[in-house]
Structure 1
């Protein structure tokens, strides 16, 4: 008898435990969206799935199933079985799923059973689990309040979330989106697909629900879009109707925060440290030094991001900031100097981000329950009564 398969009522426990998942759908399906924690070990590859689908349309279900068994036999079957077995030996709690919990996961389950491995599958498959996760997002507002941390660019809002997370449950949307939310906000790694972003957001909300019995959940003020991904409408509306705290830091502090995040904590800062510790002439112009290559590529990305906002920035100011960025790059290449990056960062804050952010807050008629420095906000949150 098979292990008890996973019903919709058991999905919360499944996701809270970060259960390893085997997605036996074709790679094209997996790329479009998958459950967090899943590895793609398909029973049919993309070409095989297409052939089975065509046969199903032309000849019916029985012929399609027979074709599948014919294609996945002999060494092909052995190879795919071995991949499943290897993964399960490393992750004995693994659970299977396909799109609807139908033939593909059932056949995988049967073959594994014949090999002496008994693993459950998700009843209803990816489709049902996806509906469950979307419902988790849509219904989060029914039991949990949000407390939104706002403030101009560079105020240290994300850092504040992490520093206070021992006192309040906190949601880092930028970490889930793998993007800081601005034209310069790419983190050097690909963003998730929209579906994967929503799925991971739902998992994070499930986990926060376990720790948010009284306190509101803290979240940074974000626009609907973070890079190329978009917050679900229900959650965004929940954010917009939430109580707000305003972090108010001076420009100098904000420029330093941005410098740390976008220069020191990037390949630019890494290459700077390496070059300080190495004979300087040996590294100048050596594109074979990986951190150095990455640093120059990041300067290119910043120049492209600046170009992308050139119309909003205005022609004269765009030229001014571009020259400052070029000068900072030249200082880095020729003198291993990185502090001159603060010049273009400060101008970008004053010319572009402050008018953009503060204008948005004014249009929304934001009325914060508290406004103060980052440390004052932390002190306020420590003394705020849980409700």
Structure 2
């Protein structure tokens, strides 16, 4: 049986990682890119766990063998689909125990050679938590801006141009507003956030700086590390300014138009507004928000939220940052990305990859 450590895993060029834990374990946290081929269903795992606690390991192992035996041919066939000549097959379970050992043995009997990840997902989780604090590049460039200026879009454009980006909202599966997880699913838990942060830091490991959006410490279900927050607070700050009409238009286009006819949309927005109303003291503003929501007048509702709720809160949050602020004014994300890139280049912060850094100026000129 061939064993592989977590450290060795990250040196493999084309790994195919097969996670044989139950679906509920996989959903709780997984190595990015891993494929879930469960040895047991959630229910079967629960049954075996109960027997283990009540009757001991010997009887639990026998029950596990009874459950697994009929599944072996289909299990091996499923895993075989992911095998090719230029890949390395890695099998793991929770802590590299009985489940992964059994599957690697079955595969070997079938002539399919694979590695067992020593320590399993538990070892992977421990490893990335140790590494995260020391992986951060030296300097941060923090993108600020009122809700709706298009900060996330600007970061995505800059990433395509070769700049080192950490997209924290994408990692958290959550947007920092009432729009929360709209279009993003249920949001990611802490384990998934940490794994995606680790993966992103691996991708920019050659950079001595990174660009990141100014987010509060908690984003949805996830919390940023102290080290990351410290880097951000001491970074160089770029404040993006966009007219409010453009901000409303942007938010409607991204968060309203694609989803407003979905049966869940009104309820989800209502939940968000309910949380806002708890913090709004002005009775007239509360009344207006409730009316706009009831009428499904989302553009006017968004404008009120921006002017009377998000904008004042954002101005206060900016005061926590220690570094110098550079002001950038732009109507469109491409325009903003172009101006930010020019500023960064002037400060000596170049792209980490040699890509075409010409920005499509026709994009925003045609929309102005």
In which range does the TM-score fall when normalised by the shorter chain?
0.7 to 0.9
Q: Could you report, residue by residue, the CA deviation over 1:266-311 in whole angstroms, capped at 9, with x for unpaired residues?
A: 234xxxxxxxxxxxxxxxxxxxxxxx4x1x6424422331122102
Q: Report the 3-state secondary structure (helix = DSSP H, G, I; strand = E; otherwise coil) of the residue aligned with 1:101.
A: coil
- Rounded to whole Å, the distance in 2 between the matches of 1:326 and 1:66 is 59
Q: Would the alpha carbon gap of residues 193 and 144 (structure 1) be closer, same or farther in structure 2, given more than 3 Å must change?
A: same
Q: How much has 1:312 moved relative to structure 2?
A: 1.2
Q: Which has the higher mean CA deviation after the structures are superposed, 148-157 or 62-71?
A: 62-71
Equivalence map 1:146-225=2 (5 Å): 146-165=140-159, 166-188=161-183, 189-210=185-206, 212=207, 214=208, 216-225=209-218
One of 37, 41, 48 as aligned partner of 1:45: 41
Equivalence map 1:284-323=2 (5 Å): 292=261, 294=262, 297-314=264-281, 315-323=283-291
The reply on whether 1:123 has 2:80 as its aligned counterpart is no
Q: Report the 3-state secondary structure (helix = DSSP H, G, I; strand = E; otherwise coil) of the residue aligned with 2:327.
A: strand
Q: Would the alpha carbon gap of residues 47 and 180 (structure 1) be closer, same or farther in structure 2, given more than 3 Å must change?
A: closer
Match of 1:20 in 2: 16
Q: Which runs of 5+ in 1 are unaligned?
A: 269-291, 330-340
Match of 1:360 in 2: 317
Q: How much has 1:69 moved relative to structure 2?
A: 2.5
The reply on whether 1:232 has 2:225 as its aligned counterpart is yes
Q: Higher strand proportion, which one?
A: 2
Q: How much has 1:63 moved relative to structure 2?
A: 4.8
- After superposition, the CA RMSD in angstroms is 2.7
Q: Would the alpha carbon gap of residues 318 and 241 (structure 1) be closer, same or farther in structure 2, given more than 3 Å must change?
A: same
Q: Higher helix proportion, which one?
A: 1
Q: How much has 1:203 moved relative to structure 2?
A: 1.0
* Higher Rg of the two aligned structures: 1
Equivalence map 1:264-283=2 (5 Å): 264=257, 266-268=258-260
Match of 1:370 in 2: 326
Q: Could you report, residue by residue, the CA deviation over 1:292-341 in whole angstroms, capped at 9, with x for unpaired residues?
A: 4x1x6424422331122102123320211222333444xxxxxxxxxxx4
- Rounded to whole Å, the distance in 2 between the matches of 1:59 and 1:323 is 61
Q: Report the 3-state secondary structure (helix = DSSP H, G, I; strand = E; otherwise coil) of the residue aligned with 1:267.
A: coil
Whether the aligned pair in 2 keeps the contact of 1:101 and 1:121 (CA below 8 Å) is yes
Q: Which runs of 5+ in 2 are unaligned?
A: 331-335, 351-368
Whether the aligned pair in 2 keeps the contact of 1:27 and 1:45 (CA below 8 Å) is yes
Q: How much has 1:173 moved relative to structure 2?
A: 1.0
